Structure 1
Amino acid sequence: MKLETLSVRIGRDVEPMAGDVAPAIHMSTTFERDSDGEFSRGYSYARADNPGRKALEQCIAALEGGHDATAYSSGSAASLAVFSLLRPGDHVVAPIESYHGTAKQLRDIIGPMGVQYTFVDMTRADAVRAALTPATKLVWIETPSNPMLNVSDIEAITALSHERGAIVCCDNTFATPVWQRPLRFGVDLVMHSSTKYFGGHSDVMGGAIVTREGGTLSERLRDYQGTAGNTPAAFDCWLLRRSLTTLVCRVRAQTENAARIAEFLSTHQGIERVFYPGLASHRGHDIARKQMQGGFGAMLSFCVRGGREEAFAVAGKMKYFTRATSLGGVESLVEHRASIEGPHTVTPQNLLRLSVGLEHADDLIADLDQALASRS
């Protein structure tokens, strides 16, 4: 099945009792046990499983082309689930430029537990090769990266990692399975912050991990999910599964807007540089063309001529871009990332990140034009 069909059909069976076409919300925290002590209907307690969560996980796994998926209460909970696979003495290779929360987990939670980590420039396969050690058990890829849209060669890094016996997890939040399916390039795990494009309406939090194959990794993640208890609520699962039905059309329309905006900004005199893998001038453009499926996503960043104050001034003049954290919703957002990321940021102080929504591209471009008027 094509992605459009998968997003509508998988995990949305007609309810057997009343014939509901729209899935029900299963709010119960506990389920009836059989008289012989078994749970023949498959459910015992909401932390262990829930019909709505199972449907959501089935759909996410299908969209990524994976064997299984586990859902969590946030994207951070999902990344922490992957890091839970590590043990003291293990080593992680991670991007020097990525979502700052992922790096913070390594520094503040995983590192103190005895796990070593190395941050490298993931756009250079030779840097990844040099960072790998006999203790490396996990290589974390984020591509395109947050917030500078750097592109890593998934296939090359995965091959290097597997040669050393390390598993590979790719954060695919920015690209979504609409434009990129990392499992096709051999990665073992795909991570998503479901809060973003999967939810798509800025009204629900979630995270997910997809496994390429069944077996130990899948079983350990499933066990961790139930033991840690950081699972999404029943209503959150329902919201996410409902939103997935429109994922493909939303992301495609948002990407069309982003491509137009990137082209506009790339010729604007008030802009120093635009970060968007769809531009031929982007240093990762050729790799993005190889591993992204016909589109380059709806995220982009740009550096305003000047510094931090000039960037804040431009953001403050925007009317159709809301100044807010997060991304992937139907509304367009702008954010000064360096001020969010803290002391370890590698993001330029004059950089603004755009999450492009579903407003008309002409209106968004006009808004950017007037906000940048003083920078021309």
Structure 2
Amino acid sequence: MQNKEFNVDTLVVHGNKSYEEKTGAISFPIYQSATFRHPNFNESTGYDYSRQQNPTREEVECVVANLEKGIRGFGFSSGMAAITTVLTLFRPKDHIVVSEDLYGGTYRIFEEVFKNYGLEFTYVDTSNIDSVKEVIQENTVAIYIETPSNPMMRVTDIREISNIAQEINALLIVDNTFLTPYYQRPLQLGGDIVVHSGTKYLGGHNDTLAGFLVVKDEKLAAQIELLQMTSGAVLSPFDSWLIIRGIKTLGVRLEKQQENALQIAKWLEKHENIEKVYYIGLENHIGYEVNLKQSSGFGGMISFTVKDPSMVESILRNIKLIMYAESLGGVETLITYPLKQTHAAIPEEIRNKLGVNDRLIRLSVGVENVSDLIEDLEQALSV
């Protein structure tokens, strides 16, 4: 199938090959094999050992690469395994500029692991272009951004950051987990590497861990291919199949999640107990116009602050339909307390600066009936 000729809502359904060529199987097979027989001496089927490559993983890697308009995709055992692989591209004393508002696990691996290997990190509000320019150093080799960011939903102008990166010959790495290639394709905006926690929207059902990298440069692809095969944190055949299956409904899920999220965000804005709502689909969001320039949607992630911190525990105890759980992007609506969960690894002074305080709640909106979700939030906020 010539994937790049089709629209994204068709691509997500048909994947890379659309069907398995030998048998015509519509559901791509799970090649649950660690090793593969050689036809003869010095001959190979193209598959030798699943750490190096497996047909099922190859299929999902091609699917994600096609969606992101990249030349190569790489599947990993988790989003953090993908990020780890990116960081092993660099050397001691290399400097990386990072979005200051980002997932706590990413901050943890930067600060508690890779600083020990000599990498240097500067955290800045990447939605402020001047702030990024001010922290560039002679040894800056990369800029790492989340847009929208987690959990404060800041929007960074990918094209503008790409211009900065190109001027200093640095890589631009973009975590595209929140919007996915269905709504945003950073490689077409100047990014060099796209990062995904495939666990989230790509899988979409809270049933597997996965991570992906996508690149647009052959040299970079060769580097990552070596690192992936050598380190071995690869996506298993069965998990690859789960992601393939999940992506087939990515479009319909995201459209419904976005529709629900916009209604919930507008409802939260009017609630007497809510102080502020962070959703990039609201016209009063500071990043609304930038997001319109570089994406085709807003996604299903909302953060909001309550007026009284004592309400947080009450809400988390009293929700009935919405589930108090980590992660995001699944069909079920999940509610998270970043201070104690996703961002606990970030020092208190940094959290306070960003607004990740004891009144902030994050909502990953699912595909349920929106009236039921609002009713659940209403009763929890009223206890």
Residue in structure 1 matching 2:254, options 238, 251, 254: 251
Matched, 1:10 2:10: no
2:285 & 2:9 partners in 1: Cα distance?
Answer: 29
- Equivalent positions of 1:218-233 (< 5 A) are 218-233=221-236
Q: 1:275 aligns with which of 275, 278, 281?
A: 278
Aligned to 2:225, the other structure's residue is in SS state helix
Shift of 1:230: 0.1
SS across alignment from 1:372: helix
2:242 to 229, 239, 260: 239
**Structure 2 residue ranges without an equivalent (≥5):** 1-5
Query: Partner residue of 1:323?
Result: 324
Task: From 58, 63, 66, give the equivalent of 1:62.
Answer: 66
* 2:144 aligned partner, one-letter code: W
- Range with greater deviation from structure 2 (201-210 or 282-291): 282-291
Is residue 2:369 matched to residue 1:368?
Answer: no
Q: Deviations over 1:75-110 (max 9, x none)?
A: 000111111111011001101110011111110111
Greater Cα offset, 256-265 or 29-38:
29-38
Q: Which residue of 1 aligns with 2:102?
A: 98
**Secondary structure in 1 aligned to 2:368?**
coil
What letter matches 2:339 in structure 1?
A
CA separation in 2, counterparts of 1:366 and 1:208? 36
Cα distance per residue 1:30-82 (max 9 Å; x no partner): 0011312221x210001000000000000000111111111100000011111
Q: Write the letter of the residue equivalent to 2:244.
A: R
Distance, in Å, in 1 between the alignment partners of 2:130 and 2:257 is 34
Normalising by the residue count of structure 2, what TM-score does the alignment of the two structures yield?
0.94
Deviation of 1:13 (Å): 4.2
Q: Would the aligned equivalents of 1:303 and 1:350 in 2 still touch at CA under 8 Å?
A: yes
8 Å Cα contact 1:192/1:207 also seen in 2: yes
In structure 2, the partner of 1:353 is: 362
2:128 to 120, 124, 134: 124
Question: In structure 1, how many angstroms separate the alpha carbons of the residues matched to 2:41 and 2:124?
Answer: 56
Q: Secondary structure at the match of 1:104?
A: helix
Gaps (5+ residues) in structure 1?
none
- Partner of residue 306 from structure 1, selected from 308, 315, 331: 308
Equivalent in the alignment of 1:260: 263
Match of 1:157 among 155, 161, 184: 161
Mapped partners of 1:312, 1:174: distance in 2: 26
CA distance in 2, matches of 1:259, 1:49: 41
Query: Retained in 2: the 8 A contact 1:67–1:211?
Result: yes
- Aligned residue type for 1:298: G
What is the CA-CA distance between 1:19 and the residue it aligns to? 3.0
Q: How does 1:190-229 map to 2 (within 5 A)?
A: 190-213=194-217, 215-229=218-232
Q: What SS does structure 1 have at the residue aligned with 2:203?
A: coil
Name the Cα RMSD after superposition: 1.2
Amino acid corresponding to residue 77 of structure 2 in structure 1:
S
**Alpha-carbon contact 1:57-1:68 (below 8 Å) kept:** yes
1:349 maps to a residue whose letter is D
Structure 2 SS opposite 1:339: coil
- 1:337-366 per-residue CA deviation (whole Å, 9 max, x = no partner) reads 111222525112111100000100111111
1:286-339 deviation digits (Å, cap 9, x = unpaired): 11111121x2110001001112x3212112211121000000000000011111
1:332 matched to 2:333? The reply is yes
CA offsets, 1:206-257, max 9 Å, x none?
A: 00001023x2211111110000000011100011111111111111111100
Give the conservation status (yes or no) of the 8 Å contact 1:43–1:49.
Answer: yes
What is the alpha-carbon distance in structure 2 between the residues aligned to residue 84 and residue 228 of structure 1? 10
* Per-residue deviation, 1:199: 0.6
Answering whether residue 34 of structure 2 is matched by residue 33 of structure 1, we say no
2:358 counterpart letter in structure 1: Q
Question: Given residue 218 of structure 1, which amino acid in structure 2 is its aligned partner?
Answer: A
* Contact 1:88-1:113 at 8 Å conserved across structures: yes
Q: Distance in 1 between matches of 2:22 and 2:176?
A: 37
- Structure 2 CA distance for partners of 1:359 and 1:219, relative to 1, 3 Å: same
Matches of 2:162 and 2:334, distance apart in 1: 33
Equivalent-residue separation in structure 2 for 1:158 and 1:26 (angstroms): 39
Structure 1 CA distance for aligned equivalents of residues 361 and 173 of structure 2: 27
Contact 1:331 1:356 in 2 (8 A): yes
* Residue identity in the other structure for 1:355: S
Aligned residues: percent identity?
39
2:19 counterpart letter in structure 1 = V
Per the alignment, residue 137 of structure 2 pairs with 133
Q: Distance in 2 between matches of 1:267 and 1:13?
A: 45
1:296 is matched with 298
Instruction: Return the alpha-carbon distance in structure 2 between the equivalents of residues 358 and 162 of structure 1.
Output: 40
Q: Deviations over 1:157-208 (max 9, x none)?
A: 1111111111001000001112111112111011100000011000010000
Which residue does the alignment assign to 1:166? 170
